[in-house]
Structure 1
């Protein structure tokens, strides 16, 4: 084929499923890619696996696969995803069972491994502190390398219909099918750079079709309720047209593609990936028709030889409570409530590591430049606000106290509070480091029917 059609089935773990089904049904796809991992997502998945060795993959894996597998199998569309998270093999076994239950006995399911480098991370120094990862001791939960296309390509070359990864680089999920299909050399830096651009534009699903883009009165996106996910038509040189299924909601435009192009890019001329240092500085973006945008001009140079490692570690507990105030003088009552909770939590002493208090609707996002609760006060008093008090604590018990004190405001605080919510969660913090790519050994395995029963 002179053109390969790749669709984006998800851009994060909680993404919508219906647009992926629409894309599978009507997109005439060769590949459907589900990108579902973030830094904290995989650390939380590792935590889940520690509690249950059979867990640790994306919680929506089963729902997504039951929704799309009958369609992709019928249409000959192959799937690549990082929904394996901390446990790709368990995820592959689950997909094998689902395929069997659906009567799809001919599918070949591959699990990609090697990104979990927890056993080797100890000597590496963390960017945030400069301390060695080993200094975290038993607080260390996870360490995952952003691996490149090699094991995914190998699985596709071996005939895999579904390839399930853990922490692969986001663009690599899309680049791998291009390398596999067009037989690009792994030192063809220009084509690898162009394929990385395609992956970067697709990796956040609806962000390039008008999601996270719409702004009423400024940037209109039609039929946002039925927004479609994007697909790319890619030629053998890596140039592409970004589009979507005809009749689906949303809009693919030069502006939406430019916003996504710049998303999470530090240096457009040197976007560092495991397989290539991509150069987006001379990219050309041109609307060629309704919902059709041509992208070309990306380039690349040799990769650095180092892989980014995302390290997750336990960092205490977060306790949180919220309460609403409405009507006359509600802002002053909310500020008084926050002050009272702060004073009462002082009795916890060193168990409280840090606190944050805010009045949602007043100062929760644009924080005051000057000290004091009135620094960001708008000219017109709000009609309703919600006070939020959160604290990072050494222990779960101390974190429980935060919500208890907010709930105690019902009778021991300002007038007219209501709608209290409270929560306690363990904090998994994230740090980054680097590791030589040669120290990370990756590979894949086919998960057969008898493995699925294990």
Structure 2
């Protein structure tokens, strides 16, 4: 049992930068590095890639991250926990072993399985968002349960240096090594709540070091081109001190911590995870040094009886087109263009949207600029279940070049397949996580 452990977060989403994790592993003196790379839509898209090629389905940046990290993990005796396995953690583990062999590195990989519950779906489960059977959404393509620390503990008890998972709740990736290394009782929900607070604070990586916080006018942050990612020293009592590697950009302050604490939180007194119902309302922050914030307080109640399950479904296709108007009467010409497209093809699509980027795209017409802008970009998008109709949106926008109004330019068009995501609850007794060891 240790008195404290140090955990770093090297990635906060699938497309995050690679070098902050390298810096953390090289200079952060970490016990554990966590790469948190999954979101609801991310894993549904990964399931689609796996359907097309059974050897795929893991994170697209897995190979690039592992190429740089594996030598550093071994050199610095740092264990890695990551959900980059996405829809295919076993294939991800095989790929990691392949990279290790090429680099002549001996490494053991633990694969956490059991989050994929697609075969258990009946179609009658009720979605949390719509209150209707999930089969009514159409063709279902994936179902992944949010596993918790119970799934990770056997992997931690092995001597695997890399632990790769599919869908695990974000804060659980951080909480599991706390419970394992600090000897916490998995039924001590007060401690689990405190640890979940810390996991939540770290899970988005650069957000707590100033990335999501920064505003050059009201909240300036220095060195953002070299934004450091965070690490935390966690102590036996569930408190922690969050910091970053010296010399990296960004900042760790009470203000950045407060913003991250409330990020994606609906009820701060009841933050549901597979491990605990955490209470964020009693968290306290203290600035204890430059880029050092102490976190204390928080707590939790007994874990819920059900797991959240993210269900992906085929939601059709989106066709879109964009074109720009500039100069005198740019707004009026762009709006005429939108009106033309609306009259010509709106009736062909299940959903249809016209945005005037720079005027109404983010907040709608009620907040649009009162003055006449010098330039406006029109965006048109339509969703349909008919793959053949999807390209028509972009084609119609492109046709505005010569069919008016005057002066349109910079047209582009695009079609993408849409993956929708809904949620259900599943009794935790129905899930049977397991691990496999490679190497």
TM-score by length of 1: 0.94
CA distance in 1, matches of 2:178, 2:91: 27
Moved over 3 A (4+): 134-137
Deviation at residue 377 of structure 1 after TM alignment: 4.4
Q: In the alignment, does 2:254 pair up with 1:284?
A: no
Which structure 2 segments of 5+ residues have no match?
none
Deviation at residue 25 of structure 1 after TM alignment: 0.7
Residue from 393, 417, 420 that aligns with 1:429: 420
CA distance in 1, matches of 2:81, 2:316: 35
Question: Helix, strand or coil: the match of 1:250?
Answer: coil
CA distance in 1, matches of 2:395, 2:361: 21
CA distance in 1, matches of 2:26, 2:163: 20
CA distance in 2, matches of 1:80, 1:86: 16
Which structure 1 segments of 5+ residues have no match?
370-375, 449-454
1:349-394 CA distance string (max 9 Å, x none): 4x4111000110111111124xxxxxx5423211111000000012
1:248-307 CA distance string (max 9 Å, x none): 100000000000000111111111110111111111101011000000011111111111
Deviation at residue 314 of structure 1 after TM alignment: 0.6
Q: In the alignment, does 2:128 pair up with 1:127?
A: yes
Deviation at residue 222 of structure 1 after TM alignment: 1.0
Match of 2:332 in 1: 332
Match of 2:183 in 1: 183
Task: Note the 1:258-337 alignment, pairs <5 A.
Answer: 258-337=258-337
Task: Note the 1:18-417 alignment, pairs <5 A.
Answer: 18-105=19-106, 107-122=107-122, 123-136=124-137, 139-346=139-346, 349=347, 351-369=348-366, 376-417=367-408
Question: Helix, strand or coil: the match of 1:194?
Answer: helix
Match of 1:16 in 2: 17
Question: Using a 3 Å threshold, how does the CA distance of structure 1 residues 135 and 333 change in structure 2: closer, same or farther?
Answer: closer
Question: Using a 3 Å threshold, how does the CA distance of structure 1 residues 135 and 331 change in structure 2: closer, same or farther?
Answer: closer
Count residues with an aligned counterpart: 437
Question: Helix, strand or coil: the match of 2:388?
Answer: helix
Q: In the alignment, does 2:7 pair up with 1:6?
A: yes
CA distance in 1, matches of 2:393, 2:277: 46
Deviation at residue 146 of structure 1 after TM alignment: 0.5
CA distance in 1, matches of 2:342, 2:408: 17
Deviation at residue 198 of structure 1 after TM alignment: 1.0
RMSD: 1.1
CA distance in 2, matches of 1:103, 1:124: 48
Deviation at residue 136 of structure 1 after TM alignment: 4.3
Question: Using a 3 Å threshold, how does the CA distance of structure 1 residues 287 and 79 change in structure 2: closer, same or farther?
Answer: same
